[in-house]
Amino acid sequence: MTGEAAPPLATSREGGRLTVALAGDWRVDAVGRHAPALAAVAPGGARAVEFDLRGLGALDTAGAWLIHRAAARLREAGCRVRIVRAAPDHAALIDLVGRNDRTRAPRPARPGPIVAIVARTGAATIEIGLIAARMIAFLGLATIAALRVLGHPRRMRWIALVSHMERAGLDALPIVGLISLLIGLVLAYQGAEHLQRFGAQVFVVNLVGISVLREIGILLTAIVVAGRSGSAFTAAIGSMKVREEIDAMRTLGLDPIEVLVLPRVIALVLTLPLLTFLADMLGLVGGGLMVWAELDITPDQYIERLGEAIPIWSFWVGMIKAPIFAFLIAMVGCFEGLAVAGSAESVGRHTTKAVVEAIFLVIVVDAALSVLFSYLGI
């Protein structure tokens, strides 16, 4: 740091001339302090202003910009402004900054808040329509690819299929099993506590059996799989999209739907029912353990009671939903992956969307199926 002795800015008047002497370092870390003093310099009747840069130490673009801005302001106020005794480097830098001054050409004005809200609402509405159209188109493309592969089974990517089955199915066994066991325990415990008041504790078995088999087993499994595998599908396909791998596939005559989407969808449709079966069984085991501990219903009695109270259809109602939900989760995951555009941030945004949309669709379809089953009297 040089020139600490002299004040960074000193003004003196002589007749109609104002001299502004700058000293010390005018760099980005100091200009915040110097800026107000320079901005306060007023012509005060002076016709000519001189910036004397003899004592200037280090100068960078931030300092040069401040000097340039002050000079431009005084020029606009009608003064003749000269920059004198500047080192060649400093003069060149002020000149460089001056040439890049864009304050005269302001950035295009942004629309007002009300216009912005209307525009955003309109854009979002159009976007929803476009997404619906694209989803239907995607469903069509996937169907065509599936039929083509069905005609030529050799085109199926068996290795990819098995690998996705392992990752989406086998690797999910521990987490799905543990959650189902715990939910079975909790359900039986809560049920026992309330039904005991009416002396109806035996019906805990009905409660656990019906709710686990019909709804909880499949819903829990679908939600865990949507979070685990649906998001993984989107992230994997999305990253490939960002790195132009999908485009490369197309130019090599490979159909991305056939190569990437079909194995994932089929893998999930095959494994989700198996995961659901595991969830059902462990949910029942959890309930059984709890009624054994709380109500002294032995495992033998529990199984017998389950057999009497629960129609076999309850089990099938849960299982039938599994491939439908698997199809939804995998299709949404792949669709969002292919919708990724441009940046790494887009991958994250679409991954979130995939999980939310998949869970939403699963629950909506579950509700619709409940209505259907009640019409059918199942």
Partner 1 sequence: MAKSGNRADERAPVIRVRGLVNRFGAQVVHDGLDLDVWAGEVLGVVGGSGSGKSVLLRTIVGLNRPAAGTIEVMGHDIPRAGAAERRAIERRWGVLFQDGALFSSLTVAQNVMVPLREHARVGAELAEELDAIKIAMVGLPPEAADKYPSELSGGMRKRAGLARALALDPEILFLDEPTAGLDPVGAAAFDDLIGELQRRLRLTVFMVTHDLDSLWAICDRIAVLADKKLLVVGPMETILDFDHPWVRAYFHGPRGRAAQRS
Residues that bind partner 1 (CB under 8 A): 27-29, 31-32, 35, 60-62, 65-66, 69, 89, 92-93, 96-97, 100-103, 105, 107-108, 341-346
Minimal distance in Å, beta carbon 351 to partner 1?
A: 15
Of the pair 28, 77, the CB lying nearest partner 1 is at 28
CA dihedral 144, 149, 150, 156 (to 10 degrees): -140
Of the pair 90, 164, the CB lying nearest partner 1 is at 90
Place of tokens 């502004």: 20
Minimal distance in Å, beta carbon 97 to partner 1?
A: 6
Minimal distance in Å, beta carbon 27 to partner 1?
A: 7
Minimal distance in Å, beta carbon 347 to partner 1?
A: 10
Minimal distance in Å, beta carbon 280 to partner 1?
A: 43
Q: Which among 194, 201, 178 has a CA at the least distance from the CA of 301?
A: 201
Going edge to edge, which strands form the sheet with 80-84?
9-14, 17-26, 48-59, 80-84
For residue 169, give the amino acid letter. G
Of the pair 105, 114, the CB lying nearest partner 1 is at 105
Of the pair 61, 301, the CB lying nearest partner 1 is at 61
From CA 246, how far away is CA 240, in angstroms rounded? Answer: 6
Q: Which among 92, 50, 43, 63 has a CA at the least distance from the CA of 3?
A: 63
Kindly give the pairing relationship between strand 48-59 and strand 17-26.
parallel
Place of tokens 């054994």: 292
Chain centroid offset of residue 353 CA: 7
Of the pair 28, 137, the CB lying nearest partner 1 is at 28
Minimal distance in Å, beta carbon 281 to partner 1?
A: 45
Q: How far, CA to CA in Å, does 170 sit from each of 3, 261, 273, 327?
A: 72, 19, 12, 18
Of the pair 105, 312, the CB lying nearest partner 1 is at 105
